Chain A
Amino acid sequence: MKPSNLPITRKPVAAPTVITRLVRGVGQYGLMIVLIALMVLPFLWMLSTSLKPQQYILQTVPQWIPNPLTFESYTQLADRIDLGRTAFNSVFVAVVSTVGQIIIAAMAAYAFSRMRWRGRDTVFVLYLATLMIPAVVLVIPQFILVRSLGWVNSYAALIVPSLFSTFGVFLLRQSFLGLPKDFEEAAFVDGANHFVIFWRIVLPLSQPALATLAVFSFMGSWNAYLWPLFTARRAEVMTLPVALATLQAGPRALTEWNMVMAGSVVAVLPILVVYLLAQRWFVSGVISSGIKG
């Protein structure tokens, strides 16, 4: 092993005594446990509340383990909102927008990275400049557009505006630029066209970037609230976050928190599962978005 590969510790040269090491270790692990608790306990509290009967949630001393444990708030929830339909809407919209966004972003990124045409980089810079426009500035014109197309309260209103992602094009372009030219030159010699190269060479080699874009796009669509709140108000097209927010009671009635928390569990569980399964793509996505800065 070369000396530069030796593991480097940042501890002082003098070996710390057993006691200081112990204290440091306990302090560090204590801090870690506190942090994990702070992050996880609110979610557990949501779960615990959702499993309690209505009269048991209003206790001045919180009860972490529901006793008696009941699923009545979930049946109550199913009475209030069409759970199957709403969940289907959320899944459908998220999946279609994710797939569509990846296809469109990948094709645009291919044109911006592997094809040569005049003004390409100028167009790309202009395109990238749209990232600076805050989403809220676009909400009103987009709403007016969607409304005049007659798309309010339709899946089209939820899906079409999200298909075009500047961030997605940027992410994929950076990834495509990093691919070696050799493969596609060989393929051109063999008579392949751009579509074949795109489909058979560039896409398979860019799987990490595609996966990163997929998880972010899915998360964005699944969690979206502002846009669906005004474009998908009817129960037939309503998505989970919008339906969830309608569960709160008015000023005079008491909010049924066990039911609201049951709705939250339903809305948050799928995305948490996706996150835990695809954690590395979330992490790489965040880190790559940070490094560009």
Chain B
Amino acid sequence: MDTACRVPTTKTRHGRICRDNARVVHDNQNWRRCYFNDWNLLSPPKFIWFDNFAELLKDDAFWSALRYTLTFIVLYVPCVFVLGLGLALLLNQKVRGMLIVRTASFLPVVASWVVVSLIWKWIFNPSYGLMNYTLGLAGIQGPAWLFEPGTAVVAMVITSVWKDVGYIALLYLGGLQSISETFYEAARIDGASPWRCVRHITLPLLSPTMFFVLITLLINYFQMFEQVWLMPMRDSAADRQVEVIVTEVVKNAFSYNRMGYASAMSWVLFGLIFIITLVQLRLQKRWVYYEAE
């Protein structure tokens, strides 16, 4: 047995430091994989055509990571898309003190993902965290959050929405403020209700911004990493199961030293992002309204 492959000393997860990245393989289930490396940074690289891609298709870890990535996107994107729009409509009101709301909602955006992950990991602590205490006040027995895969995903989605909603709202706000007041004036003279103004003026004229927001959100969240890397409790079921594509890429590259395989995976990710962006560009004709054209 090759000892170079077997030194499973420290886990890179949770920022644990590996002394020498060329020797560390963690995760007992997967340590064998290092025999199939095409390039582990020690041996010279060998050209193996598309073998890495073929292996990828058979890799359960990859499919599981893809499934979790899509789950995150399906839960997170609609939430932040709608809440961001709501926040932007509120921020656009000319009320005294609105600047404070804007400043406050942008605070999580400037904080680093590491800090945000740690704060919310503490809040989601099942026994001593704020979240379960608050749920307890409402008479709900809080779950084990970051220990179980299902609830961990929910916790990470909540954290992500909290972090990003201010950014998304600000993107919308830029779009809202470029809508000319004359449209509203004309509608008001015609006796339109506030709701009809939103429905027939704001939403169509905001659709280019919405399109941009949607593309940005999808591109960013196919690449989500820090929260999934840092938040699950160590060695819990959530820690073992919840992986997204980028955490898989990072694990393969830097823990298993499978640089070639990890690169193949990251190219598949690029391909996915590319295809989804192209599809969106196609679909935009159906719902995005450009004033100038």
Contacts and interface: CB of A to CB of B under 8 A. Distances in A.
Contacts of A274: 110
B235 to A, nearest CB: 4
A42 B123 contact: yes
B264 to A, nearest CB: 10
Interface of A is mostly: helix
Interface in A81-95: none
A38 B270 CA distance: 35
Interface stretch (B1-9, B53-61, B72-80, B206-214): B206-214
A286 B130 contact: no
Interface stretch (A98-106, A168-176, A180-188, A239-247): A239-247
Given A134-B223, A222-B112, A282-B110, A230 B21 contact: yes
A293 B207 CA distance: 11
Contact of B270 (A40, A137, A143): A137
The interface residues of chain B, by DSSP majority, are classed as helix
B104 A35 contact: yes
Contact of A35 (B87, B178, B219): B87
B66 interface: no
A10 interface: yes
Given A32-B101, A36-B101, A271-B112, A140 B107 contact: no
B41 interface: yes
Interface in B197-245: 197, 208-209, 211-213, 215-216, 219, 222-223, 225-226, 230, 234-235, 245
B150 interface: no
Given A38-B162, A42-B162, A43-B107, 12 more contacts: A32-B90, A32-B98, A46-B115, A62-B133, A137-B269, A137-B270, A230-B21, A244-B118, A248-B234, A279-B106, A291-B178, A293-B215
Interface of B: 12, 14-18, 21, 41, 87, 90, 93, 95, 97-98, 100-108, 110-115, 118-120, 122-123, 125, 127-128, 130, 133, 162, 166-167, 170-175, 177-178, 181-182, 184-185, 188, 193-194, 197, 208-209, 211-213, 215-216, 219, 222-223, 225-226, 230, 234-235, 245-246, 249-250, 253-254, 259, 262-263, 266-267, 269-270, 273-274, 277
